[in-house]
Structure formats: structure tokens, C-alpha cells
Structure 1
Amino acid sequence: MTSPPPPGPAGYPGMLPPRPGMVVPPPAPPKSNGPLIIGLVAGFLALCLIGVCGVVAVGMAIENRKDNTRTTAGSTYAPPEPLPTTTPAPPPAPARIGQCIGVDAGGGFLGVGNCNGSSGTYRVVSVDYDRRGCAEPGMPYITENGYRLCLEHHLVRFFCYKFPKDEGWVVHAPKCKAKGTVHLIDIVPGASNGNKCTRDRKWNRWYRFTYPTVVYCVMQY
């Protein structure tokens, strides 16, 4: 009867004892979990990066939809809208079309009068803040408060005026029959001379004006 082999040395269970001259290989090193852990960590980081990139992309899309509106600490800030450029409103006109105004001998504006002969020797034909030319070349005009007022003569029978000797402005006479004044006797629209002046009243001179074209028959003192 063969006896069973004796038990192997401690640490070599189930192995036969080495014989003389036999090389015994060293025990296999224990398996390392390092590559597995590194792979798990790498995968976790990759997932985190993908999540972060997705969050950043979503955030950028939201920011673009907000039209440059930023939200910080619960408050919303939006860049101010550029202010529209506006042209300032013009000042009030000194007179309206159809009104009669008074001027001094130098053409200075004396204010709005009336058209019944007691004040106002010119009627306003146009009011232009751009100060463009009048409808007719040579038409009398004044500039007041930034406006150009184009004018026409407006005189009334039996009132007294002072006429300019050459170029100038017709003004009211402070005193009728004073030297250099005229008493307006008759008005002939469209005439070129005094042939059609009244014969019922005495007069000694006529004046022709344009704008409008008219002949004034006057008694000159």
C-alpha cells in the first residue's frame, strides 16, 4: 500500500515538495485593480466633460435668445436702447399767413397789427422756417425769429403813410398832413399809371407798387 504524499510546506497547498535540483517558480503576483480604476475615472471625467459642454452649449443658446440681456443675482440688465435723433421743434412763428404786420422804415418787425388801416402796412403771404425764397423774385420780405415772412403791400384809403423816396418800406405816418407824408385818396389795382385815379377827390401824385401791382393816388404834403 502506498502512503499519500506528505502535506506540502505552508504556502504551497497541494504542491509536492521539491526534489533535489528542481527549480521552483516564484508565486504569481496578485492582480492589480489599477487599470480598472483608471478606466472608471477616465469614463467618469468624460461623462462630466460631456455634461459640462452640454450645459455650456445650452447656456449660450439661452444667452443668444435673450438678446444680450444678462441676469445677475436675481436682477435683469439690458443695454439701453440708442436714443433716436430728433430735430428740435421750430419756435413759434411771429405771424400767420393773411395777417397784417407793421414795420419801421428799416424793415424791422413791429408786430402783428390789423388790416383795417389803423396798423399794419404789409400782409403776410408766406411763412417759411427754412427761409427759402419767396414766390416772386423781388417780393418784399423780412426775417424774424428764424422765419422768412414774404409780404405784399396793404394800404387803406384815407389813411396817412410815409412812402420811401427810392427803395424802402411804407410805414404809418404818426401825424397826417405832416411834411413828407401822403394821404391815400384812391387805389387802382393792376394799373400802370394814374390815368384811372378818381376825379371825385383831389390828389396830386400817384405811386405804382408791385406785389401786388397797384397804383396809389395820394395827396402828398
Structure 2
Amino acid sequence: MTLPPPPHPSGYPGAAPWQPGTPPPPPKKSNTPLIVGLIVGVVVLAVIGLCGGGVAYNLLNGDTSPTPGPSPSASAQRTRPSDLYSPEEPIPTSEAALPAPAAVGDCIAVDVKGTFLGLGNCNGSRGTYRVLSVDNAQGTCADPDGPWITNSGYRLCLELYLVKNFCYKLPTDTDFAVAATKCKDKGTVHIVDVVPGGADGDKCTKAYKWNHWYRFVHPTVVYCVMKY
């Protein structure tokens, strides 16, 4: 009598059914350990071959010292970024000084408070002061009691410079000399004569009429004028 086949063993899904009267087939052997062993052996033989080749080369060339590896410092130096690129040193800069508003010997125009109005000329048509010195350090003038102004970072040391036949408003303790807007206006003077170094009106001209004289000491000069 033939027995029916036994049920599939638990934990073995998908296995082939057993045949009646035959033992179950043996489990398949895995080749994984053999393959791993072969790979390890090949790697070991390669390493031994490399080391042996190096030793043999050294022996043939008479060198029994171990082959030195690359210097860590040399390697670091080869790969250090600072060796590949060196930034340029910044070029120091300084702000250029503004040019002086006037030069020594120039005549300039100012308002009554001493504000610089620009270059004039020394013939009387524009300007009431002449520049004696220009100092960008703004130190004291050679004549510390004389007139001076500052402009564009410079100190301009000045002297009063009025010209015959022109009309002005004379300077005071607080105001600078300026050209008269209109000659013969009240408070203006018409310059009749100029006496450099004079002490009074004794040296004023007798050829023209004048009614007043003024003496200034920065520089010392007497102006003989028609005062209005």
C-alpha cells in the first residue's frame, strides 16, 4: 500500500514536495566562504609580492635601509593653499590734499566777515588784500596781529592792499575791507594817495583834494582819502 505524501515541513515555504519512499535531499552547500578565502589569499599574495619586490630591489642596489615614505611636511607643503595663491599686499592710499586757494603775491576778494570770494587782481578792480603766505598746517602768521583767513584747509596770511582812484569801505576791528558798491555812498572812501610807511597825513599829495587820512600798521601805510 502506498502512503500519502507528508505535509510540507514548517518554515520551508516553496520547497519541492517529497517523493514517497525517498529521503529528503541534502541542503545545498554555500560557496561564499571559499570565494572570500580566495580573494583574501590573492590580496595577501599581492602585498607580499610588492614588499618582496621592494626588498629585492634594495638588495640588488646595495641598499638595506627601509624605503622612506614621503615626508609629511613636504606633502603638506605641496598641498598647502598658501603655496598655490598668495594675495597681493594692499597698497596704502592717502587722501590728496586740496590745492591752495591762492598763492603768495595774489590779490583776493573777501566779504566783510572775511569769507573767501576768489582770486582778484592787484590793480584795484577786484580784491582788497594781498597774500603774504599760504600754510596748510594753519600755523600762526609771521605777523600774528595781521589779517588772515582760512579756506580749503589753508591759512592765508594777508596784508591790506588798496589802490589809488578806487572806492572802498575801510576795515574795522571786526570787518574786513571791501570794495564799495557805489562810490560816494555814505561810509565809503575814495583813495586819493597812498604813503607806504607814513606816520600821518603830512606826506599826502598836495596836487589833489582830500579830506581825511587813515594810518594802518599791518603793513604800515597812510591812505589819503575823500571820505563820504
Superposition TM-score tier, normalisation by shorter sequence: 0.5 to 0.7
Name the aligned partner's letter for residue 66 of structure 2: L
TM-aligned CA distance change 1:149 to 1:165, over 3 Å? closer
> Aligned pair 1:83/2:91, yes or no?
yes
In the TM superposition, 1:135-154 aligns within 5 A as 135-154=142-161
Figure out how many residues of one structure are paired with residues of the other and give that number: 168
1:47 to 66, 70, 80: 66
TM-aligned CA distance change 1:117 to 1:137, over 3 Å? same
Q: Output one character per residue of 1:72-118: Cα deviation in whole Å (capped at 9) or x when no partner.
A: xxxxx11331432x331111222222111111111111111111111
Q: How many Å separate the matches in 1 of 2:164 and 2:154?
A: 30
Q: How many Å separate the matches in 1 of 2:173 and 2:143?
A: 20
SS of corresponding position for 1:149 = strand
Q: How many Å separate the matches in 1 of 2:70 and 2:185?
A: 102
SS of corresponding position for 1:70 = helix
Identity across matched positions, percent: 55
Q: How many Å separate the matches in 1 of 2:88 and 2:172?
A: 64
SS of corresponding position for 1:206 = strand
TM-score (norm 2): 0.65
SS of corresponding position for 2:66 = helix
Q: Output one character per residue of 1:124-183: Cα deviation in whole Å (capped at 9) or x when no partner.
A: 112222211112111211111222111111111111111134442111011111111101
Q: Output one character per residue of 1:172-215: Cα deviation in whole Å (capped at 9) or x when no partner.
A: 01111111110101111111222211122111111111232111
Q: How many Å separate the matches in 1 of 2:178 and 2:193?
A: 18
Q: How many Å separate the matches in 2 of 1:138 and 1:57?
A: 73
> Aligned pair 1:70/2:70, yes or no?
no
TM-score (norm 1): 0.67
Question: Deviation of residue 57 (structure 1)?
Answer: 5.8
In the TM superposition, 1:160-199 aligns within 5 A as 160-199=167-206
> Aligned pair 1:94/2:101, yes or no?
yes
- What is the aligned partner in structure 1 of residue 122 from structure 2? 115
SS of corresponding position for 1:52 = coil
Unaligned runs of 5+ in 2: 1-47, 56-64
Unaligned runs of 5+ in 1: 1-36, 72-76
> Aligned pair 1:104/2:104, yes or no?
no
Q: Output one character per residue of 1:49-77: Cα deviation in whole Å (capped at 9) or x when no partner.
A: x3434xx46668x77xxxx9512xxxxx1
